[in-house]
Amino acid sequence: MTQMTAPHAPITAEAFADEIRNYLLTEQGVTPQEATVKDVYVATAKATRNHLVPAWAKTRADMVKGNTKAVGYLSAEFLLGRQLRNSLLDAGLSEQFSKAMAELGFDANEVVFSEPEPGLGNGGLGRLAACFVDSLASLGVPAFGYGIQYQYGIFRQEFDDQGRQYERADYWLTNENPWGHTDYNRDVRVNFGGSVQEKDGKRVWVPDWSVRAIPVDYLVPGYESGRVNTLRLWTAKAYHEIDLRTFNRGDYYGAVHNQIQAEDITKILYPEDSTPQGKELRLQQQYFFVSASLHDAIRTFYPGQEKPDLTTFPTKITFQLNDTHPVIGIPELMRILMDEYGYDWDTAWDVTTRTFNYTCHTLLPEALEVWPADLIGKLLPRHLEIIRKINENFVKLLSSLTDDQAKIDRMRIVTEGDNQQVRMAYLATAGGSHVNGVAELHSQLLKDVTLRDFNDLFPAKFTNVTNGVTPRRFVRIANPRLSDLITEGLGTDSWVSDLSKLEGLVPLADDDEFVHRFAEVKRANKRDFAAFAKERYGFEVNPNTMFDSMIKRLHEYKRQSLKILAVISRYASLKSGQTKLEDFTPRTVIFGAKAAPGYALAKETIQLINNVSRVINNDPEVEGKLNVLFPWNYNIELAQNLIPATELDEQISQAGKEASGTGNMKFALNGALTVGTLDGANVEIRDRVGHENFFLFGMTVDEVEDLYAKGYDKGMSRQYYESDPRLKQAIDMVADGTFSNGDKSTYQNLVNDWLNKDYFMTLADFRAYVGIQAEIEKTYADEKTWFRKALLNTARSGYFSSDRSIADYLERVWLTGPLPEDEKLKSRED
């Protein structure tokens, strides 16, 4: 039988060291003695990649030749994190790497850290896409991830001496990028602008300018599946580097203008905002990567065929739309089928609707992406025609299903009247087979609220797939000590590819010795984090305190302000002697969060956290008791270092606002207890780990709705401020300049918002939050109880593997599965 699995320990450490030496010499032109850490990183990356390439080629060949429908995951963001450790793990070279580094005289961690982190996403949505491609490959499912290689990813966050965030460009491609293979020979032309003309009774798009889309391929190895898929990220190039005629007229700038315009398309990742931005460049990005990807898929599955039978397209590949960003793919596939391949409307529509599925990531109706019809018309005139026709047909269909004219009007894909808008979520729902939310609660709210009319008429389209995270990166690699203990406890390491096996740890929660060792792992991880925080940020961290973390994008709905107000209240009560120092559980409170550059209240919150940290950390009266850290530039690296060391995880969003969350899953798997609201996937985490092992507080979705109905955001929050002395004291301290050297204006917007609007009900949930914190301290005081609960969190969180999410998509949405093993594939071909 041919070897299809990248074998474990394919070569010895000595041989691997030789390969690295060879790359150093032949590609970097240096000897190991001359080599820098960065040289060694690049050479190691190339040597590792080389071990994966045969399985990559074979996976592609099997996919094209075989009969297994592939998955195309279309996403504007892939927040990959560093690649080296993950690739080593999947190539079966982790141990050889450690030894080879020792042999070459380099520190393995330094080599790993010298890789720039590709930050091609804002947060959860982009990280989800990265976890999903990892799981697809690990399950052996033939798949493409399709997206954009931004030249600048998510900005680098730094803080100034006032504690304010400022943004620096993330120029992650300054050095050689050994993972991305730029394939100039598989470029695709993407057109824009112009007009639609009538030719021989047919509508023909005559575009005005085009851009060259060039694929940069990243290998996506599976863990022990022997499969390596492709993540194809597109980069934009001009067709003509400079316009010689313009150049010769002496207009140097004008001569390169086209090039600049074309290459701007993939220049920068848009920072996430609470409302989607109507930026023309963003629409260009969306169309650019989707059009290139659809053409690429046709070329891949019908190689060399001039007149392919595209009615079979939905049996070759199914596309998942990760939020609305790639939804322009629906009219684009219609256009390709009709205008490029001559199919009639009905055939094209049948193929298209069987090809796409849509994942919705939001709940707020106002956060659903819309584009002005005028803008689409200017950039993509033929697509606007197609969208209008889709809308017209859809309204006809609705009229045949219901007499409720108001409902039909609400459901229009293109709004009527002046300033017509195209509603991308509606286009996706009408033009695809399935729509899913990302946690049980979220999917229910989608059906009941956000897309209610659609659910009324097309209930079969709606389903749920609860998010997950990859256990390879977020347990096996991030937490080697815990991984070893789990493997020992279970007597096998098969949990890495089947996380439901963690259940087998449940009986060990009654084994005091095992619980003790679980606690020792956490303590060692805390010491590691303290060392990392010292080295990377210059922080003094006392590992003999409770590590309490809140890391996620800064958003009002996530309510970092609830946590910082509770910290201030804590501090005040220590200072006033209300809380005796000896009764106090020493804590290190850790925040990590970036704010969208234009989001003023979020930025003010960051400034407040930094200055609370400064005041508390410099107050000798609370030294060793309370410490607040805000490591800047929260990214995957920080997540991988902090999560294994965290004991208390904060998931305190306003109920009904967090679609799922995936940070919550990473923490539970790594043995942190969660303090959280009944929101997103918290609900399912709590049900699985056991209600007694989760610190629940705060209002429910229904209670939130009731409070809005009473007019909460029209001034009611002030009543909470007036009636809770602790809350009043904390807010007063923010207002009176305690955290701004006496300046009362610094946090004016934040204070005003709390007292007059507080849309996300921070004040209303404050009392419950402070109450649960007291309970947390009581539990923490008894180490055995705490770590027993922590162990049960790990043991019962196997469900939150992204492997399980992918299995759910395969069953409920994509209706496909893994590539068969070699032998079966051969017999089918015979």
Q: Which helix (H) or strand (E) holds 489?
A: helix 480-490
Number of residues that bind ligand PLP (CB under 6 A): 12
Among 127, 461, 559, 570, binds ligand PLP (CB under 6 A): 127
| Residue 153 binds ligand PLP (CB under 6 A) | no
| Residue 636 binds ligand PLP (CB under 6 A) | yes
Beta carbons within 8 Å of 816's beta carbon, 6+ residues apart: 68, 69, 70, 71, 141, 318, 810
Give the C-alpha separation, 787 to 40, whole Å. Answer: 40
* Catalytic option among 553, 563, 587, 789: 553
Catalytic residue flag (residue 257): no
Beta carbons within 8 Å of 41's beta carbon, 6+ residues apart: 84, 111, 112, 114, 115, 178
Judged by CB, which is closer to ligand PLP: 593, or 716? 593
Output the smallest distance, CB 754 to ligand PLP, in A. 22
Own/partner pairs for 343-350, CB < 8 Å, 24+ apart?
343/310, 343/311, 345/389, 347/311, 349/390, 349/393, 350/311
Beta carbons within 8 Å of 636's beta carbon, 6+ residues apart: 79, 80, 81, 82, 117, 119, 127
Catalytic residue flag (residue 657): no
Give the C-alpha separation, 326 to 324, whole Å. Answer: 6
* Catalytic option among 21, 227, 461, 558: 558
Output the smallest distance, CB 684 to ligand PLP, in A. 14
Count of CA atoms in the C-beta half-sphere (13 A) of 748 = 5
Beta carbons within 8 Å of 787's beta carbon, 6+ residues apart: 515, 516, 518, 519, 522, 671
Classify burial at 540, counting beta carbons within 10 Å of its beta carbon; exposed 0-12, middle 13-18, buried 19 or more. Answer: exposed
- Contact flags string 642-661 toward ligand PLP, x per CB under 6 A: -------------------x
Output the smallest distance, CB 156 to ligand PLP, in A. 13
Catalytic residue flag (residue 666): yes
* Catalytic option among 666, 686, 688, 789: 666
**Dihedral pair phi/psi, residue 204, rounded to 5°:** -125, 130
Among 86, 662, 674, 794, binds ligand PLP (CB under 6 A): 662
Output the smallest distance, CB 638 to ligand PLP, in A. 7
| Residue 85 binds ligand PLP (CB under 6 A) | no
Catalytic residue flag (residue 361): yes
* Catalytic option among 412, 552, 587, 789: 552
Judged by CB, which is closer to ligand PLP: 663, or 798? 663
Output the smallest distance, CB 215 to ligand PLP, in A. 25
Residues 533-562 that bind ligand PLP (CB under 6 A): 552-553
Output the smallest distance, CB 614 to ligand PLP, in A. 25
| Residue 639 binds ligand PLP (CB under 6 A) | yes
Judged by CB, which is closer to ligand PLP: 72, or 663? 663
Output the smallest distance, CB 438 to ligand PLP, in A. 10
Length of the chain: 830
Judged by CB, which is closer to ligand PLP: 205, or 667? 667
For residue 144, the cross-strand partners are: 72, 230
The residue ranges of DSSP E strands in 424-541, in sequence order, are: 435-437, 462-464
| Residue 635 binds ligand PLP (CB under 6 A) | yes
Judged by CB, which is closer to ligand PLP: 68, or 635? 635
Output the smallest distance, CB 672 to ligand PLP, in A. 12
| Residue 471 binds ligand PLP (CB under 6 A) | no
| Residue 124 binds ligand PLP (CB under 6 A) | yes
How far the first Cα of the chain sits from its last, in Å, is 16
Task: Identify the three-state secondary structure at position 724.
Answer: coil
Judged by CB, which is closer to ligand PLP: 639, or 672? 639
* Catalytic option among 58, 82, 156, 361: 361
Residue that is written with structure tokens 């000798």 in the block:
620
Judged by CB, which is closer to ligand PLP: 62, or 134? 134
Task: Say if residues 694 and 797 touch (Cβ distance below 8 Å).
Answer: no
The residue ranges of DSSP E strands in 566-715, in sequence order, are: 587-592, 626-629, 648-651, 673-676, 695-696
- Active-site positions read 361, 552-553, 558, 662, 666
Binding site for ligand PLP (CB under 6 A): 123-124, 127, 552-553, 635-636, 639, 661-663, 666
